[in-house]
Amino acid sequence: MYDIKNLTLDEKIKLVAGKNNWQLETANGKLPQVFLADGPHGLRKVSVEKLEQGVAEKEATYKTTAMPNICVLSNTWNTEMAYLQGETIADDCLECGADVLLAPGVNIKRTPLCGRNFEYFSEDPYLSGYMAKAFIEGVQSKGVGTSLKHFCCNNREYDRWTRNSEVDERALREIYLPAFEIAVKAEPWTVMCSYNPVNGVYASENKKLLDGVLRGDFGFNGLIMSDWNAVQHSAKAIKNTLDLEMPYRPEAYTEIKQGLDDGYLTEAELDRAVLKVLALIEKAQTSKKEVTTTKEKRHENALEIAREGITLLKNEGGILPLTGGNVFVSGAYAYTTPMGGGGSALALTDYKMKYVYEEINARLGEKGKAYTGKGVVSTSPFTYAWTMKHDLQESYHADTVVLCVGTNDTIESESYDRFSIRLSKQQEEYIKETAKVNENIVVVLFAGSAIDCSPWIDKVKAVVLAGFLGEAGSEAVADILTGKINPSGKLTETYPLCLEDTPTGDTIGTAMGEKYEEGIFVGYRWYDKKQKDALFPFGHGLSYAKFAYSNLEITKFSETDYEISYWITNVSNVDGKEVSQVYIKDILSTLERPEKELKGFAKTYLKAGESKKVSHKLDRRSFAYFMTAIDDWYVENGDFEVLVGASSKDIRLTGKIQINLPKYEQVSSHYTR
Ligand code: BGC
């Protein structure tokens, strides 16, 4: 539709860099205006007009539906929820005129210190990939584009602009790239490159990754844009096949012009990028757009996802759900719950959240009474002593104490990392002091990444991981605590016993960057290899119901294609949802492999007493590992086990598969003559 021949060289140069922070160039009005906006937890669209009038960014930002953060969405293990989150945000985009949503991010949670973990799905690439794919499909079903980010190996925020990520090829292929590979199947309109260099070359000019892997191997056909100010030299980036530099930078024009004049960059290379920008503009112009939800419905969707992502980590003696009595709600987040982590993904809402205790009261009705105290705020040392004294007194008289603790958008944020994965000293002390006066403590944890709970876990009866729930936080927490909703979230990252147990410990690399020394052993793959216990393993989450697994069946279609099925029965008298997980274990292989790897997952709703059959397909990739010597995925003949579990450490069913591919499909080191 838009012909490159109608553009002058000058217009073409301008088109491959932004017009301002959020908009694309229009080639002197020849092209329609395209608007880009964050992000994964709700639209963050800034009014360019207001900004130009000097209004501060926060005030110039539209108010939107604040959705649960991706860390919560991923704990649902439900691709339908990911689709719903995408669809919901897209309607806000359509109402406010945003064409491309800058989300989702699929960087792997390599260390719990990473400041941006709340925005990412998991330590596991398979789970990250399929959840992100559904999110993208949800957004794009409404005619709004997405930007799959940050490609790739931006696994820390500390000094993210310059620090090199030194990653071996196998870890790249097996851990850091597959989530992109899977999500790209949803055909996101754009992919956003990361800030950091990967193996010495900035992601924005890493031709091997952008063109070789993303376009070549994964078949990505859309536009690749830079993260905001991730371009070091504009001509260099375009030559190395980046398509669009964001945002506007005055030097971009000069650098490209100079590159062309010097013969470093050819006009054909520039045209390649221009054609991608034109194609994006055309998509934005021609896609079918229709708002189908009201503001109220979008809030309901936020609530539905929040409820399903809340994860019950511990429930000793069945203290939950609350059945009545005096429930004292205290702690830093006793009033309203934190919206989300900080930075570009923080959505601003005008929704007026009620206090947690009010929502609990509304659900307990006649059966009990919830009330709150002074709120022990971790960031306020001055009021700390007397509010604590007051609240401890109340705790002594209560039947149950609900302690709302955690982090917030200043502790977990884009641009920097956490220093510790413990709660603040005040919060830890407060939990311990409360335990001295009341033994019925329920901790509700608000955090975007793993928290070291070991200093206090034995002193409390229940732990509910709320995460960052967005605007429906208080309602969702009250629904779970009172049993109105049966919890069904499960962890998508390991909760370690302490920071030192994690693959990267408390180290942050050198001044130049960081060597990914643990290679492919990230997350549960690391704890399995090192035979380390975790406080709560990957995939763990409790329910008020009980589920039994039975009858694993394996049907073979070819040496590497199978269908596996099993039955789950709800053996309790409450309805609930169960997340089942399928792992593959390679019994013996020439190159070292993880103990097991996730290759399937399902969320199944079961009424009390009901049984359902769950099925999964396994294919070549389910058994393969990346062999750098042949530069390809390789399935090595031998024995495999199919492990079906309620968590990575709670395997309920085991089956066997033997693969016998022809000799010529095997590397010869694997067999003898
Ligand atoms: C972030 C991106 C975001 C962009 C625009 C950058 O700082 O890394 O994720 O989309 O800003 O706000």
Backbone angles phi and psi of 305, in degrees to 5 = -70, -40
Between CA 300 and CA 279 the distance in angstroms is 35
Mean pLDDT along residues 203-220: 98
528-575 pLDDT, tens digit per residue, is: 999 999 999 999 999 999 999 999 999 999 999 999 999 999 999 999
Neighbours of 215 (CB within 10 A): 17
> Crossing angle, helix 79-96 and helix 295-309, to 10 degrees?
150
Residue 193 Cα to chain centre, angstroms: 17
The minimum-distance atom of ligand 1 relative to the CA of 102 is 10
Which residue CA neighbors atom 4 of ligand 1 most closely? 228
The CA 88 to ligand 1 mean position distance, Å, reads: 20
Distance 37 CA to ligand 1 centre (A): 9
Residue 381, pLDDT score: 46
Strand pairing category for 164-166 and 513-515: parallel
Residue with the larger pLDDT of the pair 400 and 425: 400
Distance 227 CA to ligand 1 centre (A): 6
Which of these is catalytic: 92, 227, 528, 586?
227
Contacts of 473 (CB under 8 A, 6+ apart): 306, 336, 337, 338, 339, 353, 446, 466
Q: Is 601 in the pocket of ligand 1 (CB under 6 A)?
A: no
In DSSP terms, 23 is beta-bridged to 35
> In this structure, which residue's CA is closest to atom 12 in ligand 1?
344
Mean pLDDT of 61-86: 98
Does residue 227's CB lie within 6 angstroms of at least one atom of ligand 1?
A: yes
Q: Is the CB of 335 under 6 A from ligand 1?
A: no
Average pLDDT over residues 375-389: 61
In the reported structure, the alpha carbon of residue 294 is separated from the centroid of ligand 1 by a whole-number distance in angstroms of: 28
pLDDT at 378 over 70: no
Say how many C-beta atoms besides its own lie within 10 A of residue 391's C-beta.
26
pLDDT tens digits along 594-645: 999 999 999 999 999 999 999 999 999 999 999 999 999 999 999 999 999 9
Using most ligand atoms within 8 A of CB, pick from 227, 231, 246, 416 the residue to mutate for ligand 1: 227
pLDDT of residue 385: 62
Ligand 1 geometric centre to CA of 340 (Å): 16
Residue pointed to by tokens 């200043």:
410
Between 326-330, 475-479, 656-660, 666-670, the lowest mean confidence (pLDDT) is in 666-670
The pLDDT-based confidence of 377 (bands split at 50, 70, 90) is low
Cα–Cα nearest to 410, from 340, 336, 342, 471: 342
Q: Is 304 in the pocket of ligand 1 (CB under 6 A)?
A: no
Question: What is the predicted pLDDT for the residue at 332?
Answer: 87
Q: What is the pLDDT of residue 426?
A: 86
For the chain, give the mean pLDDT.
96
Preceding omega of 41 cis (within 30 degrees of 0): no
According to the model, what pLDDT value does residue 384 have? 62
93 has pLDDT over 90: yes
User: Which residue's CA is the nearest one to ligand 1's atom 3?
Assistant: 344
Express as a percent the part of the chain with pLDDT over 90: 93
CA distance 505 to 399: 39
Would you call 452 helix, strand, or coil by DSSP? Answer: coil
Is residue 383's pLDDT more than 90? no
Q: Over range 268-286, report the average pLDDT.
A: 98
45 lines ligand 1 (CB under 6 A): no
Residue 247 Cα: closest atom of ligand 1: 5
From the CA of 195, give the closest atom in ligand 1.
Answer: 8
- Ligand 1 atom 10, closest CA: 102
Is 227 among the catalytic positions? yes
Return the residue whose CA atom lies nearest to atom 7 of ligand 1. 228
Question: In ligand 1, which atom is closest to the CA atom of 119?
Answer: 9
Q: Compute the distance from residue 204 Cα to the ligand 1 centre, in Å.
A: 14
Q: Is residue 230 scored above 70 in pLDDT?
A: yes
pLDDT at 272: 98
CB atoms within 10 A of CB 157: 21
What gap in Å lies between CA 19 and CA 307, rounded to an integer? 40
- Is 469 exposed, middle or buried, given 0-12, 13-18 or 19+ CB atoms closer than 10 A? buried
- pLDDT tens-digit map of 139-179: 999 999 999 999 999 999 999 999 999 999 999 999 999 99
Residue 670 pLDDT more than 90? no
Percent of the chain with pLDDT over 70: 98
pLDDT, greater one: 1 or 578: 578
Distances (CA, A) of 573 to 101, 140, 547, 576: 43, 40, 11, 9
Q: State which amino acid sits at residue 240.
A: N
pLDDT above 50 for 302? yes
Which DSSP category does 142 fall into?
T
The residue whose CA is least distant from atom 2 of ligand 1 is 227
Amino acid 102: pLDDT: 98
Q: Is the CB of 344 under 6 A from ligand 1?
A: yes
Which ligand 1 atom is nearest residue 154's CA? 8
Instruction: Look at 300-314, 333-347, 348-362, 376-390 and tell me which has the smallest mean pLDDT.
Output: 376-390
Neighbouring residues of 434: CB distance < 8 A, sequence distance ≥ 6: 330, 391, 392, 395, 401, 403, 441
pTM beyond 0.85:
yes
Separation between Cα atoms, residue 234 and residue 252, nearest integer Å: 5
Give the mean pLDDT of 423-436. Answer: 92
Report yes or no: 92 and 298 within 8 Å, Cβ to Cβ: yes
Question: What distance in angstroms lies between residue 191's CA and the mean position of ligand 1's atoms?
Answer: 12
pLDDT band at 48 (very low <50, low <70, confident <90, very high): confident
For residue 671, what pLDDT band results from cuts at 50, 70 and 90? Answer: confident
SS3 330: strand
Q: How far apart are CA 600 and CA 582, in angstroms?
A: 5
Ligand 1 site-directed mutation target among 45, 57, 414, most atoms within 8 Å of CB: 414
Q: Model confidence over 109-129: pLDDT tens digits?
A: 999 999 999 999 999 999 999
